[in-house]
Each structure stands twice: as structure tokens, then as C-alpha cells.
């Protein structure tokens, strides 16, 4: 399965991968929500998952898919090799992380390795992973894009209901995001989380 919000990228990946007989492309989708929804029927062995997408990003989608369909492996592909994206995708359960400038041969090998339970990282991504081990990451760097959006509204003093209305999601989803934020920042209250967000310049 191929998941990317850019149609040209999806078509490009299909064009490249269709040249390999060992692969069968079962579907292409434009966001993580559709990918998760269609896993029920399609049950792909491997998903090529873009990281930054609207509606549901690749990190959240990977987390849900690995939870609900553990037999499906996720290979994250992105134009970005920032530590927050890399760590987010790997923590969510992606078995591999590749940048979009990799060759078709490398991509196919990563897919084959994923089926065998083996990990693959682009060279630039490997450097990020090594650096994250050598030097501790800044506070809040493991927050997902959606969690940062929620945190921004928390800083503004908005309630879960107000945040839900602004972001177009349910109050229960906001509550889950807030719980994740508090856990990642190791704080017990929204007020403390908001204070740390401002102190450590977590928000744009």
C-alpha cells in the first residue's frame, strides 16, 4: 500500500514499483485515516507511509495500524529527516525510515527487508538516530505535529471542547492527545505543560 498526500508522488511510486514482479500494489491513499480504514479489507504486508500529511499524519497512522494490524509493516518515507519525524515514526512502530531521494532499488530492498522483519534507514536518518543516542534530545521533540497543535491551544487556555472545535476532531481525541502530551513532557497538569511549552520554545 502507498500512502502520500501528493498525487504525483503516489503515481511516481506506483510507476517505479510496478517494474518489480515481486510486488503487488493493493492500493494508494492520500492520508493516514484512509490507509488505516482500508487495512481492514486489503491487509497489506507493507505500507509505504509518508510522514507529513493532512487529516491524519503518518506517525499517528503508523501507531494505529501497528496496534490494529500488527502483521503489517510500515516503511516511513519522507522528504524530512528531522529527529522529531524520525523518532516519531520509529516510536510509532515503523520498521524503516527512508528519504524520498532513495533509488527504486533501495526502496524495493527496504520493502523486502520489512517483510523479513529487518530494519532499513537512509544514511541521513542513521546520523539522526546516532546523534539522538549520543546527545539527549530537546524537551518536547517527540511530540507529533498534531500534539503540538493541541499544545498550542492548551497554551491559549482553551478547553478540550474548544480545541476539538478548532481542530475538527472529537473531545475524546483531544483528551487522548493531552494525556500523551503530559506523559511525554513528564508533567501532571495542563498548566505545567503550557509553561514548559513557552519556556522551551516548543511552538512556532
| 43 domain-assigned | yes
Considering the domain architecture, whether residues 44 and 121 belong to the same structural domain is answered as yes
DSSP state of 138: P
Which of 15-19, 83-87, 123-127 is predicted most confidently?
Answer: 15-19
Q: Using one digit for the tens of pLDDT, what is the confidence trace for 61-117?
A: 999 999 999 999 999 999 988 888 898 999 999 999 999 999 999 999 999 999 999
**What is the average pLDDT across 18-28?**
94
Spatial distance between the Cα atoms of 112 and 102, rounded to a whole number of angstroms: 15
Among the three residues 84, 101, 134, which one is the final residue of a domain in this structure?
134
The domain of 117 spans: 2-134
- State residue 135's pLDDT score: 63
| Residue 140 main-chain phi, psi, to 5 deg | 90, 0
**Of residues 30 and 124, more confidently modeled:** 30
Neighbour-count burial for 116-142, b at 16+ CB within 10 Å, e otherwise: eeeebbbeebeebbeebeeeeeeebbb
Task: Tally the domains of the chain.
Answer: 2
The domain that holds 191 is classified in CATH as 1.10.10.10
pLDDT in tens, 30-54: 999 999 999 999 999 999 999 999 8
Both 172 and 119 in a single domain? no
Residue 50 lies in a domain: yes
If asked whether residues 56 and 80 sit together in one domain, one would say: yes
pLDDT at res. 3: 98
In 43-60, which positions are buried (b, 16+ CB within 10 angstroms) versus exposed (e)?
A: ebebbbbbbebeebbbbb
The neighbouring-strand residues paired with 97 are 76, 121
Could you tell me if residue 139 is inside a domain? no
Q: How far apart are CA 42 and CA 166, in angstroms?
A: 33
C-alpha count within 13 angstroms, C-beta hemisphere, residue 11: 3
Tell me if 27 is assigned to some domain.
Answer: yes
Specify the pLDDT at position 28.
98
**Alpha carbon distances (Å) from 99 to 17, 72, 156:** 16, 20, 35
Which one-letter DSSP state was computed for residue 93? T
Whether residues 52 and 115 fall in one domain:
yes
pLDDT averaged over the chain? 93
In this predicted structure, the answer to whether residue 133 has a pLDDT above a threshold of 70 is no
Q: Higher model confidence: residue 81 or residue 175? A: 175
Check if the beta carbon of residue 135 is closer than 8 Å to that of residue 177.
no
Confirm whether pTM is higher than 0.85: no
Whether residue 9 is found in the same domain as residue 93: yes
Based on the fold, state whether residues 84 and 179 are members of the same structural domain.
no
Amino acid at each position: 500500500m502507498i500512502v502520500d498526500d501528493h498525487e504525483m508522488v503516489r503515481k511516481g511510486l506506483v510507476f517505479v514499483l510496478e517494474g518489480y514482479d515481486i510486488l503487488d500494489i493493493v492500493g494508494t491513499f492520500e492520508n493516514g485515516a484512509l490507509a488505516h480504514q482500508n487495512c481492514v479489507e486489503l491487509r497489506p504486508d507493507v505500507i509505504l507511509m509518508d510522514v507529513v500529511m493532512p487529516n491524519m499524519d503518518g506517525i499517528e497512522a503508523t501507531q494505529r495500524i501497528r496496534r490494529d494490524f500488527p502483521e503489517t509493516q510500515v516503511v516511513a518515507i519522507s522528504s524530512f529527516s528531522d529527529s522529531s519525524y524520525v523518532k516519531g515514526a520509529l516510536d510509532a512502530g515503523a520498521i524503516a525510515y527512508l528519504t524520498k531521494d532513495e533509488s527504486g532499488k533501495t526502496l524495493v530492498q527496504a520493502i523486502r527487508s520489512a517483510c523479513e522483519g529487518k530494519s532499513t534507514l537512509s544514511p541521513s536518518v542513521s546520523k539522526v538516530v546516532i546523534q539522538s543516542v549520543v546527545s539527549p534530545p530537546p524537551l518536547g521533540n517527540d511530540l507529533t505535529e498534531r500534539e503540538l497543535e493541541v499544545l498550542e491551544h492548551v497554551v491559549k487556555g482553551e478547553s478540550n471542547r474548544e480545541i476539538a472545535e478548532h481542530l475538527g476532531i472529537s473531545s475524546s481525541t483531544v483528551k487522548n492527545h493531552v494525556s500523551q502530551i503530559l506523559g511525554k513532557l513528564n508533567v501532571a497538569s495542563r498548566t505545567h505543560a503550557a509553561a514548559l511549552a513557552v519556556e522551551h520554545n516548543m511552538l512556532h
